[in-house]
Amino acid sequence: MVSVEQYLKPELASQIKRLDLRAQMIVKGFLQGMHSSPYHGFSVEFSEHRLYAPGDDPKDIDWQAYAKTERYYVKKFEAETNITGYIVMDLSQSMDYTYRQNLTKFDYCICLAAALSYLMLMQQDPVGLITFDQKIRANLPPKSRRGQFGAILSQLTKLKVAGQTELRAPLLQLASMLKHKSLIMLMSDLLADIDPTLEAIRILKHAGHDVIVFHVMDEAEVEFPFTGLVQLEDPETKQSVNVNADDICQEYRENVKKFRNDLKKGLSESKIDYVPLDTSMPYDKAITEYLVSRRSRF
């Protein structure tokens, strides 16, 4: 696996900074939407405000809001809008795959994790990192202090893929660990049975957490660019099979499309965001496009 230090060369640091600059107008709305989603009904126009109440300091009245609405609003304090975020990363062996991209699925998730951590900490939101395969392996508690970004990156440099994909058990373990409503950013290839996976993710949602599922597949897993006789190997069981790619290409692509559509439908029914990605899309573009789409729904 390529270490995260490569990603944090000056050119990558500037990439993350450029992401910040490109997204700064929508990131604020995005994170305010995150703040409000479990508690305030996805309010946008006044997502940083609440109605004036007896006992509030008149100095906190937003007179521009009053001029527009003829109602008294006061700005919320930061403590009222902060939400705790958890980046939850799949460490299973199947994540360590790429066919012709520079990054494996796991490397790609490391980039996503670094950028999303940066964006949350920029908003002074506490964020932590949880990793799992068949069970939770590590838990870096969420904090909003400046040194947290370095702590997260330090953890990312030490991660190694191992074990088989399991989602239900570690996600149920996560649900039992969390005592407060949080933002859960799950990153996985989701190569497990759909029904148990959906059940576990829904339990997190029903517990009051806001859940975003980043479904990361390799570009070759989506497009199936192979031709002729090929040997396909399961990265976790090491079982292999020889196939004629031309014979199965269409059926394979249809199955992948159905797999993604079933996940999207099952998650959407529970108002859980589903973000299908493949490793051919630059991760900063993937984040920016998602923030734009989410912001447009508020």
If you average pLDDT over residues 249-268, what whole number do you get?
95
DSSP β-ladder status, 240-244 and 229-233: antiparallel
User: What pLDDT score was predicted for residue 239?
Assistant: 86
- CA Rg value for the chain: 21
pLDDT value for 44:
30
CA atoms within 13 A on the CB side of 261: 6
For 203-236, give one letter per residue: b (16+ CB within 10 A) or e.
bbbebebbbbbbbbbbbbbbbbebeeeeeeeeeb
Q: What's residue 49's pLDDT?
A: 61
Structure confidence at residue 23 as a pLDDT band (50, 70, 90): very low
In terms of pLDDT, which residue wins out, 235 or 245? 245
Each domain of the chain, given as residue ranges in start order, spans 39-78, 83-297
pLDDT of residue 168: 94
Calculate mean pLDDT across residues 45-71.
68
Confidence of residue 165 (pLDDT cuts 50, 70, 90): confident
- Residue 5 tokens, joined: 């230090």
Q: Which residues contact 241 (CB under 8 A, 6 or more apart)?
A: 231, 232
- Which pLDDT score, from 0 to 100, does residue 22 have? 39
Q: Are 48 and 80 in contact (CB under 8 A)?
A: no
- Tell me: pLDDT of 62 over 80: no
Please state which architecture CATH assigns to domain 83-297. 3-Layer(aba) Sandwich (3.40)
Residue 213 has a pLDDT of 95
- Which of 125, 108, 113 has the alpha carbon at shortest distance from 30? 125
Using the 8-state DSSP alphabet, how is residue 163 labeled?
Answer: S
Q: Is the pLDDT reported for residue 24 higher than 50? A: no
Maximum mean pLDDT: which of 38-42, 80-84, 130-134: 130-134
